[in-house]
Every structure is written in C-alpha cells, then in structure tokens.
Chains A and B, each alone.
Chain A
Amino acid sequence: MPTELPPSIAFMLDEFRDNQLTLADVSKRLSDKVFVRDYYDQCLASIGTFKYAYHLEARPDKFDIYAGTGLDPLSLSAASVQSFSA
C-alpha cells in the first residue's frame, strides 16, 4: 500500500497526472477560482490533519536524514547558484 502523502500533494499529483505537463496547463488550472479553492482546502487539510515527519519517532538503528536546502530538489532557493565546470 503506497505511503500516504499530504493531501495537497496528493491532490496536485492527481490533478496533474498527465506525463506531458506544461507550464500553460498548470497556469490555466491555477487561474480557475474553483480549482484554487479546492487546492487551498487541501493545503489546510494538510496543515490540520496530516502527520508530518515532525511528529515521527526517532529511529536510532536507521539513518534518517533531513535534506538541507541545497540538497532538496524542491527548493527553489538556488536560483542564483549555478555549477560551472571550470
């Protein structure tokens, strides 16, 4: 059984399950007020009810890591940081 995802993420992955996703598709849906309201509801449900890793117990026999911003592929912070090969 797949692990449960935060409702907002599950909602978005379900709504945009098409493999050939474009920015225009996303923009179009995010311009739809009804869709945005549903999305915000899912965000609130995530914050209110989802069991985040914040509350998980420590597992001393496991190597559990928290991805710092540099490692997190979802982080958009590195927009000004680029790798150059000399």
Chain B
Amino acid sequence: MINSAHHFARTACLYADRVVIPDPFSFTIEATHEEIFLSLEVLKVLKPLLEAGIIVFGPEAYVACGNCLKAANEAKKQVASKLWHQFTHADPNLFRYKDGRRWRIAFGSPLLAEQRISFPAKREAIAATRPNTLLTGKSAMSLVRQYREALQSHFAFCAHSVVFGSIFGRNCNATVVTDTPEEAVGYRLLDHRNVGVTLPDWSMLRTVPLPALQSLTASQAMQVREEAEKALPAFRAKLQLDLMSLTDFSDEAEEKRAREIAAELRLAARDLQGQLASISLPSLRRREKLFAGIAFAIEIVALGSRNPAAIYAASGMFTTAMIAAHKIHSDHREKHEVLIHQPAYVLLTAERIHETSG
C-alpha cells in the first residue's frame, strides 16, 4: 500500500490539478485495526499533498432517494453481469502459487491485463493444478466454475465501485480516473448505458510510461509539482489532448498512443535540455561578464581623467554597455521563462530531482 501511495502521488497527483479521494475514516465504523493502520501509513506518505490541497476528500457515502438507489443497484447488477460475461468469454487462465505457507489460485484473463484475481486454493483446485503452471482452456474453465461465487462477488464489488465512482465523480465535479483494467471496462459499460456523467473519453487518461516519473516518491512528486509548476499546465494539456484525440478506441490503440506520447515527450525533454544548457553556456556568461567589465573599466578611466566631456562620453558608453549587459540577462530570463513552460520541463525536473537525491 505504501508503494501504491507513492505511485498515486507520481501519477494522478502529478497529472491532475486536484485529486478527490473518499474520506477513509469518517464514514466507516466497521474498519479493522489493520485497515486503520494501513490507511494511516498511506496518509502519512501523502501528507504533503494533503496539506497543499492537491488531494482533497470526498464523502464515502451519500443519501439517495429510493428511485436513485434502485437505478444504481440495477446498474451495478448489469455491470457485474457483463464483467463476468467478459471474463468467462475471454479465455480465462489460472495458476497455483504459494503465498507463505498457503497455496493460492490466481485467475487471469485479457480483461484483467497483467493483474490477477487471487483466492486461497481449495482442495479440488490443488488436485487439478500443478504449482506455477499456467492452466488454460476447458480445464481452466472447470475451475472458474468452481470459483464462480467468489469471482462473481469480486466482479459485484468492482461494479459497485464503478457505479459509486461514477456518481461521486459527477457530484464532485471531477473526471473519474482508474488504473485497473477491469474497472476501466466497467466504466465503459456504464458509459455505454449513459449512467453517470464522466468524460466519454475518460478511459484514454492512462498513465504514460515516463521513466523519470515512474520512480518518484510522494515527496519527490510534490517537489516536481512545485519546481515545474509553470510547465505542468502545458504538460497536462498535452497528455489530455494527445490521449483524447484517439479515433481508435481499442486498448491496443490506447497503449500504442501512450507509448508514442512518452517517446515524443522524452525526445522533447532532450531537446529542451540542450536549449536550457545553451542559454547558460560558459561563452555566453563570459560575454556577459566582458560587457560588465568594460563598463566598469570605462567608468574608472573617465572619472580618473577629470574631463567633464570625457566623463559625459564615457558615461554614455557606460550606460550603453550596462544596457547591453542587462539586455543579455533579460534575454536569458525571457528564453529561460519560455523553456520552463514547455511540457518536457516536467520530465527534466523529475530527472534532476532523481540525480540530486541519488
């Protein structure tokens, strides 16, 4: 959970202006001591982002009229049923693995991508499988049927989360974002039924694989937000525009576009790095110092001559030289200002933070 807190900080909290999460304490009276402990550990990691108002809390319960409740329950049922249908019709597979001293069965499917739903292994499942060996086809389906109740409960909970998220996202005036494939499918099913008002292309908002950002801790993510503050709006706009401009809505197309954007950003970062380096090259600095040096020298000579005409002329030259020196400085500032507004500056900042902390 600590890792997921850092992951959350470097993805959602970096890409969004504000992130709403449900209050984990106030509405939950049945939480176990362990759940409260884990929530506290996560909140401690996220504390800088909470204090900065980047993460804000939404309620974890709402009051609904009978009709709304009925509609929500109906939507949950439909989403759960469709998720189950998708799972069983997409060639599910499974394998048995040891977690500590206990055997577990991990179910997978294209629906879940690299994630798996894992349950304690029943005696029959242990007998029907070999350790760490992928089981597919009819044999896998036979075990899927044995675990039907547990799997359906899992999808029912997922459907509940999707419907709840959709309602809360709308009421919090925010776009709903998730990073689990099954929830993504759930939201698409919900969108298709026109339940909830999320952005129709919300599922395009995937995490773009940018190595510099993928290993930031929560406090480093906060640092990136502060230091690359001017570049973040352009960075977010680029991600949203590029990811939402897809005409092909398949998972493969999303993934491909996300990778292309990542490559474009990485390339832009290198280009930007070169431009930033060029405005602080030693030769330019020397030229700047030379101008200032000449100005200083001329003033001394002129004052030393005690000749008012010479002083006047020299002062004019001094002023011109100082203006030139200031002009270069101001050009630098302007150019620097332009560069630090570029989307790729976010990546450069993250890389710099890694370098200094490493």
Contact = CB atoms under 8 A, between A and B. Distances in A.
Nearest to A11: B25
B51 interface: yes
A43 B53 CA distance: 20
B172 A56 contact: yes
Contact of B118 (A53, A69, A80, A86): A80
B33 A69 contact: no
A34 interface: no
A27 B44 CA distance: 18
Contacts of B17: 59, 62-64
A30 to B, nearest CB: 5
Interface string A34-78: 000001101110110010111011110011111111111111111
B178 interface: yes
Given A57-B173, A62-B18, A63-B236, A82 B25 contact: no
A57 to B, nearest CB: 7
Contacts of B157: 77
Interface in B19-71: 19-27, 29, 33-44, 46-47, 50-53, 56-59, 62
B8 interface: yes
A71 B7 CA distance: 9
Interface stretch (B74-82, B161-169, B254-262, B341-349): B161-169
B321 to A, nearest CB: 45
B57 A53 contact: yes
A9 B55 CA distance: 13
Given A26-B33, A52-B57, A72-B22, A67 B161 contact: no
Interface stretch (B179-187, B220-228, B281-289, B297-305): B179-187
Contacts of A56: 56, 172-173
A28 to B, nearest CB: 9
Given A5-B50, A54-B58, A82-B116, A74 B24 contact: yes
Interface of B: 1, 4-5, 7-8, 11-12, 15-27, 29, 33-44, 46-47, 50-53, 56-59, 62, 106, 108, 112, 114-119, 154, 157-158, 161-162, 164-165, 168-169, 171-180, 182-183, 187, 205, 236, 240
17 contacts: A2-B51, A3-B53, A9-B24, A12-B25, A43-B25, A63-B175, A64-B20, A64-B173, A65-B12, A65-B177, A68-B176, A69-B178, A71-B177, A71-B180, A75-B22, A76-B38, A78-B180
